Amino acid sequence: MISRREALIGGASLLAFTGIGTAGRATWAAGAPVSSGVPEGAAAEAELGTLAGKKPLIRLSHRPPNYETPVEYFKDVITPNDVFFVRYHHGHIPELTAAEWTCQIRGEGVEKPFTLSLASLKADFQSVEMVAVCQCSGNRRGLSKPHVPGVQWGYGAMGNAKWKGVRLKDVLTKAGLKGQTIEVAFNGADKAVMTGGPDFMKSLPVWKAMDENVLLVYEMNGAPLPHWNGFPVRLIVPGWTGTYWMKHLTTIEALTQPFNQFWMAPAYRIPQGKFPLVDRFISQETDAKTTPITEIVVNSLITSLTEGQKVTVGHPVEVKGIAWDAGYGIRTVEVSTDGGETWHRAVLGADLGRFSFKPWSHSFVPSKAGKHTVMVKATNPQGATQTFELVFNPAGYHNNVIETITIEAA
């Protein structure tokens, strides 16, 4: 049986397709599940599948489309567009053209509402480029013990890209924000297949919406946004989890009251006081027990080794991977090759910006035969680090447990 770790790293090359069904589901000659580390009901559906314009990804659901990036693609700091993960809450996703796209800038909090086109977005505002991680709030949810409801993501509900667009604050400044504005809400073109489901909408506190790093983007890694990643224009909120990164934007609305909608409360909430958050969404803290999820917690991933990999005694073993956080930066990455008894600083690689994946590497020589337990932990400048045990919460958010891989030397 293929382990979840092996599937996530090498799924694209372990098995061969015999065909793709009309619903986008992969058909395997061996019939082996891609994802065996999740509940049986989810594992049966987790297979490699394709979407238009994408290479085979780990398919966790087809409608709505939720496809995970195999870990092998994180060996590169920048995640290519054709393997970037796909996350939707609703199954009706219209295909918009650049020429027909418009976005309404409106709400009781603006002085001068107007309609934005893609041409005016590019012509009337200064363009900005930035490398930033987009990570689903539920990344690694499928590794929770006990398991919790929701899409059973493994390690790959994330990606790192170079984005190009304009600052949201410049668009809001043109509309003239009133002093009473406390939140800015966003809606996209995707809709529920069945009537009655809550439209996927999100809001940001006005101070975050006016942050210079929050962008309306139309390019990803030097090309137009892929359809499955938000074409023609999406919002990006670097450092905050992907729930706020609204795709296929249609409206931006300035509000003078807290946005009262399902996807703000009760959805996407975490217990107060359990995580080391700096950015809080105060206007949405409507009870004493929960708060909206905001920042990405510090995390790391080993990309060069697989569980059970065979290595040679006396020969160097390269341990490589990536680390990231909410944009405070990565201060240190430490690697243990003896199950946590001793730790060694890894060498940090190229800096593509504070919101980007940070590559790291460490080399060691196994001196004896047998199993070696490799662990990695990242720490940011604020002193926040990864946990040895899961900080359990009912939605399975913020899983940054120190990764452990056992290899065998002979």
pLDDT tens digit sequence for 251-272:
999 999 999 999 999 999 999 9
What 3-state class would DSSP assign to 4?
helix
Q: Report how far residue 380's alpha carbon sits from residue 396's, in angstroms, rounded to the nearest whole number.
A: 22
Q: Which domains can be identified in the chain, with CATH numbers? A: 4-83 (no CATH), 102-292 (3.90.420.10), 299-409 (2.60.40.650)
- The CA-atom distances, in angstroms, between 80 and each of 8, 36, 93 are 16, 26, 22
Tokens of 176: 């003239």
Rounded distance between C-alpha atoms, residue 178 and residue 157, angstroms: 37
Q: What is the CA radius of gyration of the chain?
A: 21
Closest to 373 in 3D by CA, of 329, 346, 335, 327: 335
> Token match 């590794």: residue?
143
DSSP at 46:
-
What token pair was written down for 300? 């790391």
The amino acid that residue 347 corresponds to is: V
Q: Which of 359, 275, 362 is nearest to 324 (CA)?
A: 359
Tokens coding 125: 């505002």
Tell me the three state secondary structure of residue 128: strand
Contact 150, 157 (CB under 8 A): no
Count the Cβ atoms, other than its own, within 10 Å of residue 123: 8
Helix (H) or strand (E) holding 170: helix 168-175
What is the model's pTM? Answer: 0.90
The full DSSP string for 217-251 is EEEETTEEPPGGGTSS-EEE-TTB-GGG--SSEEE
Q: Hey, how many other C-beta atoms are within 10 angstroms of the C-beta on 128?
A: 16
pLDDT digits (tens, 9 = 90+) for 149-207: 999 999 999 999 999 999 999 999 999 999 999 999 999 999 988 777 899 999 999 99
pLDDT in tens, the chain (410 residues): 333 343 333 333 322 222 222 222 232 222 334 543 445 555 656 688 999 999 999 999 988 999 999 999 999 999 999 999 999 999 999 999 999 999 999 999 999 999 999 999 999 999 999 999 999 999 999 999 888 999 999 999 999 999 999 999 999 999 999 999 999 999 999 998 877 789 999 999 999 999 999 999 999 999 999 999 999 999 999 999 999 999 999 999 999 999 999 999 999 999 999 998 889 999 999 877 999 999 999 999 999 999 999 999 999 999 999 999 999 999 999 999 999 999 999 999 999 999 999 999 999 999 999 999 999 999 999 999 999 999 999 999 999 999 999 999 99
Place of tokens 């569980």: 307
